[in-house]
């Protein structure tokens, strides 16, 4: 199964369908950037050309952007060479992958190398990441591939084997022998996954652990270690879990500082073994540690040449003692607790979380996002906005064991793709979560997003131990059976990020996202006969409408802006022509494209109601509403929206400071009402669902065209005839739905037709074969050109109107670069 290129809601739906079909599992990984290893390799062998990866080129951009940027002294003189150019007989893996295959280079990714070193201890686990059948011998084509777990799914990453070299040596990770290249190629694939090599600098070993296994991390602060930690470590290693440890730094000067006994602060080590030995008649607990530098080893008790080994049985000493300077060493468990600060254990499967019980944990995974103004509410220190964060419910029904009331579960919150964003000057956000017991009146109810008042009057039942700027925050809890709400957040409001929330429970537990159901409770409109409208309003209407006694788009714009200018307490940019056209489309019952007396009266009453709601929710009397005030105002107007729809509303109708002025508020409500009324019309059996297919589009349905008041049709399909040339004004601009088609070259002709129709107060339908790629691209381009929208704004606006649009990859790239 091949992934398709998609963004926004289409990407979410497609991703869910693919996951349901098995895509994203280790044996059926998602192909990064659509690159298929087998077909690319076969193509190279057929053409007898070595693979060159143009999506991660052998150029400075793949190295980095700052310390490893094009102007950095660290990258001056760097060449890209294939292993076959560096030595006579390069090997992929020789005699199995071992810890000594991994030596750190000029990149601060010791955290990653520590994880790779731990990976070599489990051959089955290693080959989930490093697929079998790769070598420099038979059928060599300069192409390799690796698999990584990424935020809920496995991804297959294809690379060429050109590696950065400086002064004749590999710039980054290398093997001790110099002729084994699996670790260097693995590092390159991981760099591609994250955007560049520099993006790998600095991190936590837990990141590597999770991306190599899809497992779950548990962290232990060694100054507060549990009494049975040694047995926990031993059982974890026995199961093949990955373990890492580090020493905290107290200032930037401590980073990579070497202690008196040759331990490196702020450096990631891997824990590779434990052993109990008889020493002077007593059992002594030992821990084996590895420094990915491949040198700089502990010189204290039980180090390679320490005297303690002289008092150990010779056979045990021969088995354990290692005198080579390879970065691996033993130390006593008591020294380990005293010298190191933190231990991270990556449990390979959820049932490994409880070391003494091999029980299958119930697992739920949710994809979410924090967006400015809509779902990025910050932590509990910000009560005005905390409630707008996404909310997830977990129902704990079965206690851990008979006679107990508590249920065990683990919550892991992970922020997505932050390393890729380093090039843009962004890094990890500070994240955490809080857990609340569901109030009795909402137990069993999923279609509710708890509001501000609840969080002001209820304390949390549990919370993450820290808000911290790591990729993942996780904690284990024991709470009485019941229903709980998990609220993940950034520490400060208005910080944007995507996240994955994973919930593991020892016994089966139901979990789901808590979000408002999309509904509209629109007050019934009172349509009066002309005889029922008072004389004063009639007189006003005659003055405004002119001789034809109807109000056009232009006249409505003039009227509303003249009236709103008298309300000095309102901040507004004035109503635009498109907003006024939306109002007329909503109120125009006779299809004239203008408003008569009764229609204008209904609109007038509606606007007065909107004005009252706006003032009621302008809490600080600033003349505008904040985005979180907007959500409550929409609720008061009768519209309950889920998080995704509200994000689109905020993107479209707020100013840069996330404020909403009166004209945008009115336009938003008018368009929402139009959307809900259209849906209700199409929902002929009133079951809350409508069926829309790709091919039964409006262009060939005369009833739909009339219902939508279409006057002009722009046909951008290939080989599709105009259906009703006698009834509508047509324009045909033939274009092929191919990535290489220069769609922007057709824009001037298309936009001229749309603008001419608009000047005649017409309604234009833009159509192609399926209404997915070509027509959507034209409309997105039109909004970018005429409405001065960004690509993201225009794409979201069109997708909100037609959720299954998806321009082909070539059109998407052109639109992103389009600068009208």
Residues assigned a catalytic role: 110, 267, 291
Residue 690 is encoded by which pair of tokens?
A: 């409508």
In angstroms, the CA 516 to CA 524 distance is: 23
Q: Is 157 helix (H, G, I), strand (E, B) or coil?
A: strand
Smallest CA-to-CA distance from 388 within 618, 661, 648, 630 is with: 630
- Parallel, antiparallel, or unpaired for β 639-640 and 216-221? unpaired
Q: 244-277 b/e with 16+ CB inside 10 Å = b?
A: bbbbeeeeeeeeeeeeeeebbbbbbbbbbbbeeb
- Tally Cβ neighbours within 10 Å of residue 527: 11
In angstroms, the CA 372 to CA 380 distance is: 17
DSSP string, 394-415: EEE-S-SSTT--EEEEEEEEEE
In angstroms, the CA 807 to CA 638 distance is: 34
In angstroms, the CA 89 to CA 180 distance is: 9
Residue 727 is encoded by which pair of tokens?
A: 């009834």
CB 205 within 8 A of CB 111: yes
Burial of 158 (0-12, 13-18, 19+ CB in 10 A): buried
Smallest CA-to-CA distance from 202 within 114, 263, 272 is with: 114
- Tally Cβ neighbours within 10 Å of residue 526: 9
CB 203 within 8 A of CB 112: yes
In angstroms, the CA 804 to CA 794 distance is: 15
The dihedral sign for the CA sequence 92, 98, 103, 108: positive
CA dihedral 137, 143, 147, 151 (to 10 degrees): 170
In angstroms, the CA 308 to CA 279 distance is: 8
CB 243 within 8 A of CB 290: no
In angstroms, the CA 487 to CA 683 distance is: 35
Residue 543 is encoded by which pair of tokens?
A: 């003055």
- Tally Cβ neighbours within 10 Å of residue 278: 12
> Residue 251: CA atoms inside 13 Å, Cβ hemisphere, count?
1
- As a residue count, the chain comes to 820
- Parallel, antiparallel, or unpaired for β 153-160 and 269-279? unpaired
Per DSSP (E only), the strands in 39-131 are 79-81
DSSP 231: H
Q: 281-309 b/e with 16+ CB inside 10 Å = b?
A: eeebbbbbbbbbbbebbbebbbbbebebb
In angstroms, the CA 587 to CA 55 distance is: 51
Smallest CA-to-CA distance from 595 within 607, 613, 611 is with: 607
Smallest CA-to-CA distance from 494 within 251, 676, 659 is with: 659
The H-assigned helical ranges of 565-714 are 577-587, 597-617, 627-636, 643-653, 662-682, 702-707
DSSP 28: B
CB 390 within 8 A of CB 643: yes
CB 797 within 8 A of CB 652: yes
DSSP 360: P
């Amino acid at each position: 199964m091949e992934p398709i290129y998609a963004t926004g809601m289409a990407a979410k739906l497609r991703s869910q369908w693919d996951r349901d079909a098995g895509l994203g599992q280790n044996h059926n990984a998602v192909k990064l950037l659509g690159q298929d290893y087998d077909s690319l390799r076969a193509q190279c062998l057929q053409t007898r050309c070595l693979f060159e990866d143009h999506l991660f080129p052998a150029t400075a951009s793949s190295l980095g952007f700052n310390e490893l940027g094009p102007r950095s002294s660290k990258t001056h003189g760097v060449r890209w060479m294939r292993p076959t150019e560096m030595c006579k007989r390069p090997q992929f893996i020789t005699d199995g992958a071992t810890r000594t295959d991994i030596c750190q280079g000029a990149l601060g990714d010791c955290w990653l190398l520590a994880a790779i070193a731990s990976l070599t201890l489990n051959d089955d686990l290693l080959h989930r990441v490093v697929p079998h059948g790769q070598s420099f011998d038979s059928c060599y084509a300069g192409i390799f591939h690796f698999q990584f777990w990424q935020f809920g799914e496995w991804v297959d990453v294809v690379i060429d084997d050109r590696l950065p070299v400086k002064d004749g040596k590999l710039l980054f990770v290398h093997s001790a022998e110099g002729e084994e290249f699996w670790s260097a190629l693995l590092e390159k694939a991981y760099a591609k996954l994250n955007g560049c090599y520099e993006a790998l600098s600095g991190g936590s070993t837990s990141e590597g652990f999770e991306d190599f296994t899809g497992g779950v991390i548990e962290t232990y602060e060694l100054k507060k270690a549990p009494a049975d930690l040694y047995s926990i470590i031993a059982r974890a290693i026995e199961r093949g879990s990955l373990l890492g440890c580090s020493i905290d730094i107290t200032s930037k000067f401590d980073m990579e500082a070497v202690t008196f006994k040759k331990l490196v602060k702020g450096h990631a080590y891997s824990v590779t073994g434990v052993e109990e030995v008889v020493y002077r008649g007593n059992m002594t607990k030992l821990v084996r540690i590895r420094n990915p530098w491949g040198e700089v080893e502990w010189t204290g008790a039980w180090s390679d040449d320490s005297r303690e080994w002289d008092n150990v049985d010779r056979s045990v000493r021969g088995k354990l003692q290692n005198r080579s300077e390879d970065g691996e060493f033993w130390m006593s468990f008591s020294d380990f607790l005293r010298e190191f600060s933190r231990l991270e254990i990556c449990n390979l499967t959820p049932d490994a979380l409880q070391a003494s019980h091999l029980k299958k944990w119930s697992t739920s995974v949710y994809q979410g996002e924090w967006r400015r103004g809509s779902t990025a509410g910050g932590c509990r220190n910000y009560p005005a906005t905390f409630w707008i964060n996404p909310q997830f419910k977990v129902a704990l029904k079965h206690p851990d064991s008979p006679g107990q009331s508590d249920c065990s579960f683990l919550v892991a919150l992970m922020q997505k793709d932050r390393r890729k964003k380093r090039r843009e000057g962004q890094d990890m956000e500070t994240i955490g979560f809080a857990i609340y017991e569901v109030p009795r009146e909402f137990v069993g109810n999923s279609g509710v997003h708890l509001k501000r008042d609840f969080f002001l009057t209820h304390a949390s039942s549990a919370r993450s131990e820290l808000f911290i700027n790591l990729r993942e925050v996780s904690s284990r809890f024991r709470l009485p059976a019941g229903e709980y709400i998990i609220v993940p957040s950034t520490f400060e409001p208005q910080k944007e990020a995507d996240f994955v929330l994973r919930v593991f429970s020892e016994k089966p537990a139901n979990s789901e996202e808590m979000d408002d159901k999309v509904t509209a409770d629109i007050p019934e409109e009172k349509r009066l006969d002309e005889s029922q409208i008072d004389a004063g309003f009639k007189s006003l209407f005659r003055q405004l409408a002119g001789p034809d006694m109807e109000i056009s788009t232009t006249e409505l714009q003039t009227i509303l802006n003249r009236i709103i200018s008298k309300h000095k307490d309102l901040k507004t940019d004035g109503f635009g022509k498109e907003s006024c056209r939306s109002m007329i489309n909503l109120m125009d019952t006779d299809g004239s494209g203008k408003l008569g007396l009764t229609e204008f009266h209904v609109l007038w009453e509606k606007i007065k109601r909107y004005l009252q709601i706006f003032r009621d929710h302008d809490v600080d009397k600033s003349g505008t509403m904040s985005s979180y005030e907007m959500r409550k105002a929409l609720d008061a107007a009768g519209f309950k929206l889920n998080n995704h729809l509200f994000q689109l509303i905020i993107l479209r109708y707020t100013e840069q400071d996330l404020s909403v002025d009166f004209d945008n508020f009115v336009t938003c409500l008018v368009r929402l009402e139009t959307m809900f009324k259209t849906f209700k019309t199409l929902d002929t059996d009133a079951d809350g669902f409508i069926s829309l297919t790709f091919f039964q589009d409006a262009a060939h349905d005369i009833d739909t065209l009339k219902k939508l008041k279409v006057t002009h049709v722009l046909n951008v399909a290939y080989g599709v005839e105009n259906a009703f040339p006698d009834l509508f004004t047509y324009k045909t601009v033939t274009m092929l739905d191919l990535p290489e088609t220069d769609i922007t070259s057709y824009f001037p002709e298309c936009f001229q037709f749309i603008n001419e129709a608009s000047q005649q107060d017409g309604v234009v339908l833009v159509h192609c074969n399926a209404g997915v790629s070509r027509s959507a691209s034209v409309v997105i381009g039109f909004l970018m050109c005429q409405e001065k929208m960004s690509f993201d704004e225009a794409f979201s606006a069109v997708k909100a109107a037609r959720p299954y649009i998806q321009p082909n990859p070539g059109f998407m790239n052109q639109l992103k670069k389009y600068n009208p």
